[in-house]
Amino acid sequence: MAHILKAGKAATVGATMSGIPVLHVEGDCIARAWELSLIELHRNGGIVQTQYDRPGAPPSKDATMLITVSDPLREPMIHRDFPGGPEELQEYVMEVCEGIKDHLVRDASDPEDHRWEYTYHQRLFAYSAPSLRPFDQIEAMCRKLAGAPYTRRAQAITWKVWEDNSCYDPACLQSIWCRITEENGEPVLSMNVRFRSNDAYKAAFMNIFALVEMQRRIAQRVGELLGRPVRVGRYCHLADSYHIYGSYAHEFEERFLRSLEKRTFAQRTLLYADLREMMEAARPAILEKARRMGRV
């Protein structure tokens, strides 16, 4: 697979490291960066137990991973081997960026309410704390960037220390941080995202794709406030625990790793431009599906 890594950059393995491996890959587009991250994790990740291991389950691969996408809107944006399809991807983007499933979040004050602990959209756009009104962190971030593009304080968080230290399913996404630089007279918005835990094969591609769409929307909103276009810059995705569960290691090897030698990168990927119209056309059905999920 050496030829595959030439399309991006992987961290050089140096001196022996104690503890969890720290890995880094860089790709020019989402699809390539995600693919390289899985290759690097499979090769150099450590063996770490998880709280979800069943007796006799194969071990999991795990590492702290930094994924850099140098041009997040560059095609091809979609990888064929992420577990899902175009409509599932559109549904997830709408969940994260538009809050179509925020109504499924439980009332934390009701011990009998067993709905979802959170959605990322609800935590980012309507963050709530005891005795305080919901707070739109993303709009606040956009206004802060418009006021001082170089600020280091434009961030949004999801963690609720009074809930998430004891709840069953705490948020995996922890924070979003943005900053604007000037390049050739043009404002460019870079975004950093941090996950405490990230399922590398089953979830990370959809996470990155949806968050890049959020980055695009943040850049658009800041542009509206500034009165000039803001370009989407690089995207950095840091996962404290980036893992491939042993329970699906065989599926990963048979489906993902085998395809690397059998197909070219072009054959392993799809152009978002070719799927955008179909994905947008699925919006009414997705909205109806989300509404049905809220019915008792």
Neighbour-count burial of 225, counting CB atoms closer than 10 A to its CB (0-12 exposed, 13-18 middle, 19+ buried): middle
Record: fold of 21-293: Thymidylate Synthase; Chain A (3.30.572)
What is the widest separation between alpha-carbon atoms in the chain?
59
pLDDT over threshold 70, residue 15: no
pLDDT over threshold 90, residue 264: yes
Using one digit for the tens of pLDDT, what is the confidence trace for 134-185?
999 999 999 999 999 999 999 999 999 998 998 888 999 999 999 999 999 9
pLDDT over threshold 70, residue 12: no
What 3-state class would DSSP assign to 126? coil
Using one digit for the tens of pLDDT, what is the confidence trace for 56-95?
778 899 999 999 999 999 999 999 999 899 999 999 999 9
Under the banding of pLDDT at 50, 70 and 90, the label for residue 10 is low
State how far Cα 294 lies from the chain centre: 25
Please tell me what DSSP assigns to residue 74.
P
- Confidence at residue 1, expressed as pLDDT on a 0 to 100 scale: 47
- Confidence at residue 295, expressed as pLDDT on a 0 to 100 scale: 60
pLDDT over threshold 50, residue 6: no
Using one digit for the tens of pLDDT, what is the confidence trace for 211-222?
999 999 999 999
Using one digit for the tens of pLDDT, what is the confidence trace for 231-262?
999 999 999 999 999 989 999 999 999 999 99
Q: What is the pTM of this model?
A: 0.92
CB 38 within 8 A of CB 244: yes
pLDDT over threshold 60, residue 5: no
Please report where in the chains the tokens 């405490």 appear, as a residue.
196
- Confidence at residue 166, expressed as pLDDT on a 0 to 100 scale: 87
- Confidence at residue 2, expressed as pLDDT on a 0 to 100 scale: 41
Write out the H or E segment, with its range, that includes residue 210: helix 204-226
Q: Residues of the chain with pLDDT > 70: what percent?
A: 93
- Confidence at residue 290, expressed as pLDDT on a 0 to 100 scale: 95
What 3-state class would DSSP assign to 85? coil
What residue ranges do the domains of the chain occupy? 21-293
Please tell me what DSSP assigns to residue 248.
G
Under the banding of pLDDT at 50, 70 and 90, the label for residue 194 is very high
Give every CB contact of residue 10 below 8 A, 6+ residues apart in sequence: 23, 24, 25, 26, 36, 39, 40
Q: Name the CA dihedral angle for 248, 254, 255, 256, rounded to a multiple of 10 degrees.
A: 90
